[in-house]
Amino acid sequence: MPFFGVYAGMCMKQATDVFNDWAHRGKDEGMERGHGPAVREMLDLALGRVLSERDSFSFADLGCGNGWVVRLASQHDNCTKADGFDGAEHMIVKAKTIDSNNGYHLALFPQTKPPQQYDLIHSMEFIYYLHDPKQMLQLIHDEWLTEDGWVVIGIDHYAEHEESLGWPEALDVHMSTFSEREWIEMWKDVGFRDVHAWRANQSSDKPGTLAIIGKKGLR
């Protein structure tokens, strides 16, 4: 189940409030169990691309929750820096309590500016909470990534995943709904190259996470 968001209107909750509550109740711990297989598949592919072009990498996780993906990436021998960003204050507090070695930052998107540019950016279950995901993709491309940097994003709420279409009503939170084709077109429109999409952790009884990877385009 997803975890991040921004203000979605007077009639809906802020997703950050939902996930602040989850942090208080310990439900954030289920995110790693639920998303772990897909995230590890995504990172394996992304790190293969990144480390084929450079000897080391800096890493950022947008919508980091309690920081479990930051901690995972930071354990890689070639990782020089790992930062997490999230809009839920209690998630950031929990991340800092668990991990004092990496950086965790309270952030609202798309307003937050990166403290630096990163070689690899990861995000899982974050971007569709925004009213304009394409704007955020453009900012990741232009402001968050180093030259030739890579980003990999996991999306469980997409048009082809029929079960997920009831999530906005169930959580009372805004979610932007697009098809796989529309997501890919967005990535290409903002300038990403070598865009590749696949279903991570797919099985016979579940459609899997729509995972998309791309490289910062040439200026």
Instruction: Identify whether the C-beta of residue 209 lies closer than 8 Å to the C-beta of residue 163.
Output: no
Q: According to the model, what pLDDT value does residue 171 have?
A: 86
pLDDT, position 11: 52
3-state secondary structure of 18: helix
Burial of 133 (0-12, 13-18, 19+ CB in 10 A): buried
Q: What is the DSSP string of 183-209?
A: HHHHHHHTT-EEEEEEEET-BTTB--E
Is residue 28 within 8 A of residue 19, CB to CB? The reply is yes
Whole-model pTM over 0.75: yes
Place of tokens 């940097």: 149
> How far, in Å, CA of 189 to CA of 107, rounded?
25
Contacts of 33 (CB under 8 A, 6+ apart): none
Cα–Cα distance for residue pair 35/212, rounded to 1 Å: 15
Looking at residue 54, the DSSP 8-state letter turns out to be -
**Domain 33-215, CATH homologous superfamily name and number:** Vaccinia Virus protein VP39 (3.40.50.150)
Beta strands at 118-124 and 145-155: parallel, antiparallel or unpaired: parallel
Domain ranges of the chain: 33-215
The pLDDT of residue 35 is 87
Q: What is the mean pLDDT of each run of 10 residues along the chain (219 residues)?
A: 37 54 52 86 98 98 96 98 94 95 96 97 95 97 97 97 94 94 98 98 94 91
Q: Name which of 101, 103, 108, 105 is nearest 17 in CA terms.
A: 108
